[in-house]
Amino acid sequence: MNNGKKINKFKICPKEYSWFWNVVNASGLETLRRTSYNHTDWGLLTAFAERWHPETGTFHLPIGEMTITLDDVSSLLHIPITGKMLDHNGTSCTKEDGEEMCVEYLNFPINKCKKEFKKMKGAHIGFKTLKDLYIDNLRDALKAERLKKPAEDVEFLRECTIRCYLLYLIGATIFTNKSMQYVDVIFLTYLRDLNLVNTWNWGASGLAYLYNYLDAASRPRCGNHGGYNCLFQARIMAHFKTFGGRFVDPKYIHDNPYAARFLPLKGPKFPGEHRSALDTMRMDEVVFCPYEEHRQTRPFQDISWYTGWIMCGSAIINPHLPERVLRQFGHVQSIPRHPDVSAKAGMNRFTIADAFASYLTANYVTEEMRGPKVVRAFDTVPGYIPWLYRVSHPKILPPVEADPPTHANLEEDNVSGECDVSEVTKKVRADLRKALDGKLNLADALVVIEKAYTDLEPVDAYLVRRKRKRDSGEGTKKRKKKKKTTTEDAGTSSL
């Protein structure tokens, strides 16, 4: 059973138990219950994961870079994206610390806890065990209340019930692991004080957790991809109209998270058919800004412009670089800075937390960096697509000869087509000479230099392509084949 079904089949407290729902609603995590899917399209998720680049934290696609941003998290899941990110040390706690927390905060008997940790091979609790623990605590709390036991005993059992539910909820949604069998006890650290649950940045840490699994999935022969969660699938359905089978829930209202709008169908396990579809992606298949009609319910939050590192503990640290996906924010996409400039090396969990807290001072995509608003949703600066094809490989499958180009982006033709180097350089030199012969101020000189730089882009792309062909030996093979054919024709003529 996938994690979405686990959540949807979980029997929760009736609404009249206000002591339960008041805390769960105040935690900021209740909405995760409404964003779980019964079906997972593993083939589609894998096809997208193949295009993930850990260095940039983005998917490299034929139409440009895209990614899952903090704004996606806020709109799709309605969980907090501000506050302090989860800052535990490592990826899990020790068995001793885990046992202590389970006894104190979950009312989990020590002998059963030790047995569970041994079974799960670490400080983890299986979903079935956690669900049984929730039921036991709820029953004991109701019984204690009925028997009029001391208030502190009733309150203890109630709080343990709530923690069991919240731990189950986050473990099956934003912190899913490859096994899909258990949740790490380390997350119980942030549920100790139920009054402070909503002060933690579950959105940013959940996004870093997903990024971490995408990093692993993008590596060759990485094995099972079970760490994908509802956020990943919901984001694809929101931004790509024709990828993945789904229905739109006719009863959906915008009070619910945007992810609840979709009812996905079960897709193929393997990504084969999706690979070619992604390689021939068209601009009209992409929705860069899908949340405009949802803004009244979930307004855009300024923290979404944060550029730098996000984390889920000291061992899971990933870059969040919105400047690489400006079209998702309604701005013309420019050629971005090197990722090392935006996400500086050598950061740890303490310096990352400080940078995130003071993002407005230095770690922010300023209005100047954002550039102009788009006229068409897919607008980019001249030369962006040739630059992308020069520095990346946004297509997975090798090109098919005589296959006509799609209209994914007309600039792609400049990358794959021939380039008359002599004519281009001659024109650039003539323009430069004309400018030099005139009187130039600094502003005019910058315009001339920028034009020359843009005009030389096709030459640069052409030479890189020629070098790749030469290094691969493809050009040599063609020349040998041509020479052989010419020799054979000459022999035939002499006969």
Q: For residue 218, what pLDDT is reported? A: 87
Q: And the tokens for 226?
A: 């079970």
Every domain of the chain and the residues it spans: 1-34+87-198, 36-83+200-409, 418-494
CB 412 within 8 A of CB 392: no
CB 39 within 8 A of CB 246: no
Q: For residue 222, what pLDDT is reported? A: 56
Region at 343 (left for phi over 0; alpha for psi -120 to 50; beta for the rest): beta
Q: For residue 360, what pLDDT is reported? A: 84
The CA–CA distances, whole Å, from 400 to 54, 389, 395, 397, 403 equal 28, 17, 12, 9, 5
All residue ranges of the chain with pLDDT < 70 are 1, 221-228, 399-420, 460-495
Q: For residue 419, what pLDDT is reported? A: 60
Q: For residue 476, what pLDDT is reported? A: 55
CB 249 within 8 A of CB 237: no
Cα–Cα dist 249/377, whole Å: 26
Q: For residue 464, what pLDDT is reported? A: 60
- Torsion, CA 29, CA 35, CA 36, CA 40, rounded to 10: -140
Cα–Cα dist 486/371, whole Å: 55
pLDDT in tens, 48-88: 999 999 999 999 999 999 999 999 999 999 999 999 999 99
Q: For residue 478, what pLDDT is reported? A: 53
pLDDT in tens, 398-444: 766 545 444 444 444 444 445 667 777 888 888 888 888 887 787 77
Helix, strand, coil share (%) of the chain residues, nearest 5: 55, 10, 35
Q: For residue 407, what pLDDT is reported? A: 40
Q: What is the pTM of this model?
A: 0.81
